[in-house]
Chain A
Amino acid sequence: MYAQMVKADGKGVKSREEMDAEERAFQDKIDRDVKIEPKDWMPEAYRKTLIRQISQHAHSEIVGQLPEGNWITRAPTLERKAILLAKVQDEAGHGLYLYCAAETLGVSRDDLLDQLHSGKAKYSSIFNYPTLNWADIGAIGWLVDGAAIMNQVPLQRTSYGPYSRAMIRICKEESFHQRQGYDLITKMAQGTKEQKAMAQDAMNRFWRPSLMMFGPSDKDSVHSAQSMAWKIKINTNDELRQKFVDQTVPQAEYLGLEIPDPDLEWNEERQSYDYGEINWDEFYQVISGNGPCNKERLGARVKAWEDGEWFRDALTAHADKKAAKKKKQQQDAA
């Protein structure tokens, strides 16, 4: 899940009686699963909350290039290098169409990037963890993309049309990435003693941060009710987290990797796994800028943006000159 802490605007969920006629008609459309399109009327709070959610997701895709990009130059075979390049390219593409979806809500990509660079906008906590060995690339595909898909598959049905359509495209590519990640970590887990150790090390570091991707526990998730009423959130954080644990534990067992949680246990009654308490202090610290790589990640994005300013300015200047030339030619001809 790439948007974990989306603050919903508005003062809690209104009852039908509290809504005015426009709000009621809007809510009726959502309840009937009719998509909201850019030109339709929408409550200001819905628009603002969606911008926040979509841009958090877009920023996560962009920052998410960095931990994996860290290994592109060291990928161990030509095929692995190509797979990783293609994956990171897909992520940049996801960022691009999510920014486009956000732009349909009346905000520019440059404004959203300013918010990212100033630290005002958030991105997924997971990308503030380092990638320290090659198996991390497999762990990211398997666990991180796996967790993202858990959240994104239901979002294909989200109420806002452009967002829903972006998610449909993204989900297709994400499930491909997850399979490739699982393939990579399988090779490692079934490889030499050193490769197995790398796979276990990756598992030890990425398991809990992956669970944190679903956001705070339901009891502390204060904005969920409004987002769920608007169908920009479909399931609760804990529901999705549980589903992820139940899906992933058998895969880890198959790979012979130990899950770093002494409290992990099958619950016969619930037909589900119990798992240990998540360190929410760590989560809030990472979200608020104190994760192991927050400064590097944001610093790298800011540097890329600042170093690239002359290039972007030159593109604009050239386009302006060209347009002026064309205009002059047309005037001369007339």
Chain B
Amino acid sequence: MADKDALFKFLCRMGDNCLIIGHRNSEWCGHAPILEEDIALANIALDFIGQTQLWLGLAGEVEGEGRTADNLAYLRDAFDFKNFLLVEQPNGDFAQTLTRQMLFDAWHLPMLQALKESSDERIAAIAEKAVKEAKYHLERSRNLCLHMGDGTEESKRRMQDAIDLLWPYTGEMFKSDNVDEAMVAAGVAPDLADIKATWDNFMDEFFAEAELVKPENAWFQQGGKTGTHTEHMGFLLADMQFLQRAYPGATW
């Protein structure tokens, strides 16, 4: 049986990643470059919000203090959010949005595949459901990134800029801490070194096929997993939490 506090933190990380990347995707609504992408982005945002409800719902249950998924989403401040810095990065141009998505999806899919085998049946059940969506997400983001890399000169330049910009936020996804170690010890979650190996393979294949250059840098930003975020996070939450904060106690 995993330590309750560590399990709660782990579940918040899973849920917060989904919530924040879902929120960022939802910001595109009505502003995408083509109608089909408006539909795809809303669809993906919807998948992530659905997954958030499951992860944060379970987090509240594990914590045992009566907090619901909504309480966790709308009534925590930035330092209590445990998502990766990567997912809170602004949408930027469409190349940045696509790149952010692929870098995350390539972590998310193997993570969920491993969580299907979790010793915690509740976690295995959520992963089972979410993995089908994550498969589609990665297929889409990878294809579009490849197409943009091999489209026009401009699309190639934009993709390379986006990759260079976001690459420093990828290291954090694989940096194991005491929460991750407790999860591995209890058989709840996989060793992040295994997820990194899968992610590295994926990226090597991607860069071999894409007309793009893999960044060389070895310095990675970190802090999201422990609650030290970028300046973007406060504004995102101010937007997202406005009604719950302005009208405490109301039901919606």
**Which of these binds chain A: B43-51, B104-112, B176-184, B185-193?**
B43-51
Q: Name the B residues within 8 Å of A69 (CB-CB).
A: 29-31
Does any Cβ of B come within 8 Å of A86's Cβ?
yes
**Cβ 8 A contact of A89, one of B39, B69, B70:** B39
Residues of B near A317 (CB, < 8 A) are 151-152, 155
A311-B52 Cα distance, complex, nearest whole Å: 30
Which chain B residues border A192 with CB–CB below 8 Å? 247, 249-250
* B122-130, B165-173, B237-245 - the one binding chain A: B237-245
Whether B74 pairs with A81 at a CB distance below 8 angstroms is: no
Q: Is the pair B74, A62 in contact by a Cβ cutoff of 8 Å?
A: no
Counting chain A CB atoms within 10 Å of each CB, which of B56, B152, B251, B252 scores highest?
A: B252
Q: Does A254 contact B (CB under 8 A)?
A: no
- A96, B39: Cβ atoms closer than 8 Å: yes
Q: How far is the CB of A251 from chain B (nearest CB, A)?
A: 20
* A334 CB-CB contact with B under 8 Å: no
Counting CB contacts under 8 A, is A79 at the interface? yes
Q: Nearest CB to that of B245 among chain A residues?
A: A76
| A273-281, A283-291, A302-310 - interface stretch | A302-310
Closest chain-A Cβ to B88's Cβ sits at a distance in Å of 13
Chain B positions within 8 Å of A323 at CB level: none
Q: Is the CB of A76 within 8 A of B244?
A: yes
A235 at the interface (CB under 8 A from B): no
Report the bound CA distance from A322 to B250 in whole Å. Answer: 55
Residue in B29, B52, B73, B150 whose beta carbon sits within 8 Å of that of A65 in the complex = B29
- Whether A74 contacts B250 in the complex (CB less than 8 A), given A85-B42, A93-B39, comes out as no
Residue from A85, A187, A310 within 8 A of B155 (CB atoms): A310
Q: Are A78 and B70 in contact (CB under 8 A)?
A: yes
Q: Considering the chains assembled together, what is the distance between the CA atoms of A76 and B52 in angstroms?
A: 15
Across the interface, B46 reaches (CB within 8 A) one of A86, A134, A191, A314, namely A86
A6-62 residues with Cβ-Cβ distance < 8 A to B are 62
- Which of B50, B93, B147, B249 is the one whose CB lies under 8 Å from A82? B50
Q: State whether the Cβ of A245 lies closer than 8 Å to any Cβ in chain B.
A: no
Which residues of chain A come closer than 8 Å to B155, judged between CB atoms? 310-311, 313-314, 317
Cβ-closest chain A residue relative to B70: A77
Complex: how many Å from CA A96 to CA B244?
A: 35
Residue in A195, A300, A303, A314 whose CB lies within 8 Å of B154: A314
Residues of A close to B36: CB separation below 8 A: 96
B158 within 8 A of A: yes
Is the pair A187, B251 in contact by a Cβ cutoff of 8 Å? Answer: yes
Select which of B30, B52, B94, B152 is within 8 A of A66 by beta carbon. Answer: B30
- Among B35, B93, B240, chain A packs the most CB atoms within 10 A around the CB of B35
Interface size class of A (residues with CB under 8 A): 35 or more
Residues of chain A lying within 8 A (CB to CB) of residue B94: 307-308, 311
Whole-angstrom distance between the alpha carbons of A303 and B82 in the complex? Answer: 34
With both chains docked as a complex, state the minimum distance between the C-beta of A107 and any C-beta of chain B, in angstroms: 16
Q: Please provide the chain B residues from 204 to 252 with a CB less than 8 Å away from any CB of chain A in the complex.
A: 239-240, 242-244, 247, 249-252
A250 to chain B, nearest CB (A): 25
Which one, B38, B43, B45, B74, contacts A77 given CB within 8 A?
B74
Tell me the minimal C-beta distance from A149 to chain B in angstroms.
22
Assembled-state Cα–Cα distance A82/B32 (Å): 19
Tell whether A92 pairs with B34 under 8 Å between CB atoms, given A310-B154, A317-B151.
Answer: no
Are the CB atoms of B38 and A65 closer together than 8 Å?
A: yes
Q: Are B151 and A318 in contact (CB under 8 A)?
A: yes
Check A304 against B26 for contact (C-beta < 8 Å): no
Contact between chains at A74 and B31 (CB < 8 Å): no
Q: Is the CB of A72 within 8 A of B49?
A: no
5 contacts between A and B (CB under 8 A): A72-B27, A78-B56, A79-B70, A89-B42, A191-B250
16 A-B pairs besides A69-B30, A73-B27 with CB distance below 8 A are A65-B30, A69-B31, A72-B26, A74-B239, A77-B244, A78-B52, A82-B53, A86-B42, A92-B38, A192-B250, A310-B158, A311-B94, A313-B151, A314-B152, A315-B34, A315-B147
List the 9 shortest-distance A-B pairs measured between CB atoms, nearest first. A308-B33, A314-B151, A314-B155, A65-B30, A89-B42, A76-B243, A69-B29, A69-B30, A311-B33
